Chain A
Amino acid sequence: NAGVTQTPKFRVLKTGQSMTLLCAQDMNHEYMYWYRQDPGMGLRLIHYSVGEGTTAKGEVPDGYNVSRLKKQNFLLGLESAAPSQTSVYFCASSYGATATYEQYFGPGTRLTVT
């Protein structure tokens, strides 16, 4: 099993450009999440999904959109990138069973917006 994979690994964008980050998991997990990680800030939740076709806002959703058309994939979109979105983005997934909150992370996408 590959676990959670993310593409691309690195990306440089100019202000105003758009891009989509792809997350895929092969563990048949119900839940998927997108986080951003900034120095000294820990991990902050952007959006999450509790199942195919559903999405919800997290702590810092502004400037991002997501889609979960297939259970194994979770896409994060930036419609008009801003320098404040320079960060490392992590995708995670978890089982849907109750009382099980362990999340498994991908390797990350390092995004720079100039």
Chain B
Amino acid sequence: GQQLNQSPQSMFIQEGEDVSMNCTSSSIFNTWLWYKQDPGEGPVLLIALYKAGELTSNGRLTAQFGITRKDSFLNISASIPSDVGIYFCAGHLSGSARQLTFGSGTQLTVLP
């Protein structure tokens, strides 16, 4: 199946620092979604992007739909302890019905 390369796999940061993570693919996507998963819970939708070049914020989170439509970025500003979790990107390929392709996740740890 299609692959989404998500990096980094894990991050250890100090509280208050900014965080960046990204997803790339060799395929063109028409939608990018970012989810967060807390331990023992299901993924929760953070941001949805539908246009190339689109920049969308949700509080301290900002995500961008890459111009080439092959990548997306998520930034978290001024991290806090509750940002800990796994962040997943997901993309929708044209012609793939309703199916999403998921990245393998970025595990974020925030140190006090």
Contact = CB atoms under 8 A, between A and B. Distances in A.
Given A48-B99, A94-B98, A103-B100, A43 B43 contact: yes
Interface string A81-114: 0000000001010100001011111111000000
Interface of A: 4, 31, 33, 40-45, 48, 50, 56, 58-59, 90, 92, 94, 99, 101-108
The 3 lowest CB-CB distance pairs between A and B, nearest first, are A105-B42, A42-B102, A42-B104
Contacts of B100: 45, 101, 103
Prevailing SS type, chain B contact patch: loop
B98 A31 contact: yes
Contacts, number: 56
Interface of B: 1, 4, 6, 31, 33, 35, 40-45, 48, 50, 88, 90, 92, 97-100, 102-105
Nearest to B43: A105
